[in-house]
Structure 1
Amino acid sequence: MSRADRTILTAAGSIDRRSFLQLAGLTAGASALGAGLAGGAAAAEPFRIGWVRPTTGRLVTSFNPLYMGGVMAVEEINAAGGILGRQIERVEEDDEALPSKEPGIVRKLRGAGIHYVVGPTGSSQSLSSIAATTAAKMIQATYAAAAEAGDGKRYPYHYQLLFNTDQQAEICVDYMLKNQGLKKIGVLQENTAFGEQATASTVKYLKKAGVEPASVQVYPINAPDLAAYVSNLQKAGVDGVIAWIANIPNAAMIFNTMKSLNWFPPVTGHSGLFLPSLFELVSPEAVKNVYGTYYKSFTWNATEQPGERQVAFAKKLAEIPGAKNNEVNIAASPYYDFVYLLKHAIEQTKSFEVADIKKALDSTKDFPGLLGKVSFTPENHSGIALADITLASVSSGVDKRAMGCMRERAPGL
């Protein structure tokens, strides 16, 4: 018996009534305090997000930089106190960039009580994962450019925060036909799922404008020489090329062939063409008329400059050693905006429940993301509007104003 306990006993060894009531009050107070502390501890439990990326396999080097923006967002939010007092915890899962591994990873995360997922990256990997997260009702953002990934009816728990193949094709076709006034458009496509999807969208928008492609060339990404495909476009009398190339060595072969032919038609394509490593394989002259799809917020022209947030983001990237030469891919990734959008939805609803967050996300209107204003409806989960997408000059990557992830808009935009 403690000294405190002994003080409430009478000489007869019984408990004094006044002392008993005081003890009861103290016990009740202690119980309430304990409950409060327990509740505080529960509230302070980390907010866990599944983080699906390859840490082994052949695509580690290519895919891992795409998650840096998401990591930056997590660190910024945690440094500012977290989300409703809870720190974000990334629960890493290695998918080896294999579509076959995605369903198992989703089951593992769901079994661990995780309801929110960042990744995977790649259209094939993402679509495999989305099918599983849809069934499990897990909210997710992937790096998938496939237009179907933004279908809110088909995938009600997946949110696409980047431009898709349909939007990229529409921007490219519109630029060639309306801005440049060209009539004979050729398509050059790698033989991948991305290439097939982008070309199908390109042909759709060309035909919608009453134009048949002058030539469609499909090349294998492991081909040792692409001169024949470029030559076929020139022979077809093509005056503009829409090129779906996501591989720098292939791009270098194509642009060096054009230079050797002294043929420099306007070329539009994917933002992967902005990687600085391209300039190690081609001269700036070879890409002087080459433009890639990009976000207006990260571009400049004679009258507009990149936004303050985007400049601050670029400066922060410059301080991260692993970001060098990957700045465009990091900036164009959807994960930074997704993490902040989750924070916004949770704070708006004051809830971490999936149903509440989904309702908030489905009614998002003009959320100020790095890549543009993000809006969703229950049916449309493609959040980036066409108005926030543009074409930018590949050669402007060597301009001092580029800051790694900025680019100059194509002429006339």
Structure 2
Amino acid sequence: MGLGLAAQASAEQPVPIRIGVIGPFTGPSADFGVPMLNGVKMAVDEINAVGGYLGRSLELVIKDDQANPDIGRSQSQALVNEKVVATIGFCNTGVAMNSLAVFNDAKLPLIVPCATGSPLTSTYPPATSYVFRTSPKDSIQAPFVVDDLLARGWKRVAVLHDSTGYGEAGAKDVEKALAAKHLKPVYVGKFPLGVKDLTKELSEAKAAGADVIFSYTVGPENAVIARSRQAIGWKVPQVGAWTLSFPSFIEGAREASEGALMAQSFIAEPSNERRSSFLSNYARKFNTKRIPVPMAAAQAYDATYLLAHAMFNVPSGKLEGPFIKAALEQPKRPYYGVVTTYDKSFSENDKDALSPNMLVMGVVRNGQISFAYPEDAKRNLFVQRKQ
């Protein structure tokens, strides 16, 4: 009798809602993959603590893509096969690009909180795309950084980028941003991931008369650029997208990283109650004094809440891809997030949540990322909404 009642109680337990998470949780890109995962975990734990979705808990189905495009595609298909209602993920643009069709063909929403390659949200026509993003795409990061370096008087730009989908797309965005200012790079150099020395390329850039290096690659290779510049005794600034904030760059380049400038959507300072709560809760939950890549964690945390808000707006609890997609595109109310206040962050024609006004310039100072300009620190006290 007791066993029968226990079985009946077990049978009546609400079925969890499965949400996919995919990213590089091991390997060279784990420095921003793990914070992304932690941001999702923290949000899900908070949501479950207050009842989940109508009494049903959220259950994460976690897949490690190891920053490998082929593994990423097979793991994406596994998520579809395991009946997730949506997926949050990808840190590497090339890995994500190889998997987009898996989600779009299955009509399952994918929210990208890390990867920034511009093609991710333009591969499919907006109205039919299931790909959303809460990270700043490179086509807004590149012009933002170009505007800054020109304001500083640096006009002879050397572009160094890796041969991945991220590096190739990012370099095109830089060249396009320069062309809008009637400029061209004085030097463009390309290299494979894993390169250990770039003194030849840096020497060529120096000979071309460059006065600034715009690098488009991930952390370890950014460090190789900085060390190679140092090795030839060339004292020019290094600027770039958000990857210059990664520990693999700062720790790998050591003193050669000092002064590097990069675009940031979130700098880990408690400038308002929401950000203060996020930073303290993350530190307590994961027993750490600092987040290795704060942008990855904050953007993933916000992505999870945006998905949860959309699920609550699905009519009659129909947690199916097309209904969740429509709810993401037609939010009922703003979500007060960590990075920003998401007010109509997505629409049928716009799948990118962040706009250029949300970016600030970060700088490496004494091995930490801080605001490059005092006025940005003051402006950060006021949440910038999408324009």
**Same fold? TM cut 0.5:** yes
Of residues 57, 61, 80, the one that matches 1:87 is 57
- Aligned residue identity for 1:383: A
Please say if residues 52 and 93 of structure 1, whose CA atoms lie closer than 8 Å, have aligned partners that are also in contact: yes
Q: Is the partner of 1:170 in helix, strand or coil?
A: helix
What SS class does the counterpart of residue 313 from structure 2 fall into? helix
Q: For 1:200, what is the secondary structure of its paired residue?
A: helix
Matched, 1:224 2:196: yes
Residue 348 (str. 1) matches residue 313 (str. 2):
yes
Match of 1:172 in 2: 145
Contact persistence 1:288–1:395 (CA under 8 A):
yes
The structure with the larger Rg is: 1
Q: What TM-score results when the alignment is normalised by the length of structure 2?
A: 0.81
Match of 1:156 among 123, 129, 141: 129
Matched, 1:236 2:199: no
Residues 265, 289 of structure 1: 8 Å contact kept = no
Q: 1:122 aligns with which of 79, 89, 92?
A: 92
1:167-204 CA-partner distances (Å, limit 9, x unpaired): 12111111112x21332122122232211111011001
1:292 counterpart = 2:259: no
Match of 1:318 among 279, 283, 287: 283
Q: Distance in 2 between matches of 1:258 and 1:176?
A: 18
Which range moves more in the overlay, 57-66 or 214-223? Answer: 57-66
SS at match of 2:324: helix
AA in 1 matched with 2:240 = G
The 3-state SS of whatever aligns with 1:51 is strand
Residue identity opposite 1:394 in structure 2: V
Secondary structure of the residue aligned to 1:327 is coil
- Structure-2 separation of matches of 1:252 and 1:112: 39
- Report the CA distance shift for 1:157/1:216 in structure 2 as closer, same or farther (over 3 A): same
Unmatched tracts of structure 2, length 5 or more: 1-7, 377-387
User: Identity over the aligned pairs, expressed in percent?
Assistant: 26
Tell me, yes or no, if the aligned pair for 1:141 and 1:338 is still in contact at 8 Å.
Answer: yes
TM-superposed CA distance for 1:213, in Å, is 1.1
- Change over 3 Å in CA distance of 1:157–1:408 after alignment to 2: same
8 Å CA contact 1:189–1:244 kept in 2: the answer is yes
Question: Match of 1:190?
Answer: 162
Partner deviation per Cα, 1:146-184 (whole Å, 9 max, x = no partner): 21222362562111110112112111111112x213321
1:359 to 2:326 alignment: yes
- What amino acid is aligned across from residue 164 of structure 2 in structure 1? T
- Unpaired stretches in structure 1, ≥5 consecutive residues: 1-36, 399-405
1:372 aligns with 2:337: no
After TM superposition, the structure 1 stretch with the greater mean CA deviation from structure 2, 382-391 or 153-162, is 153-162
Moved more, 203-212 or 311-320: 311-320
State the 4+ residue runs in structure 1 displaced beyond 6 angstroms.
Answer: 55-58
TM-score, normalising length from structure 1?
0.76
- 2:47 matched to which residue of 1? 77
Tell me the CA shift for residue 118 of structure 1.
2.1
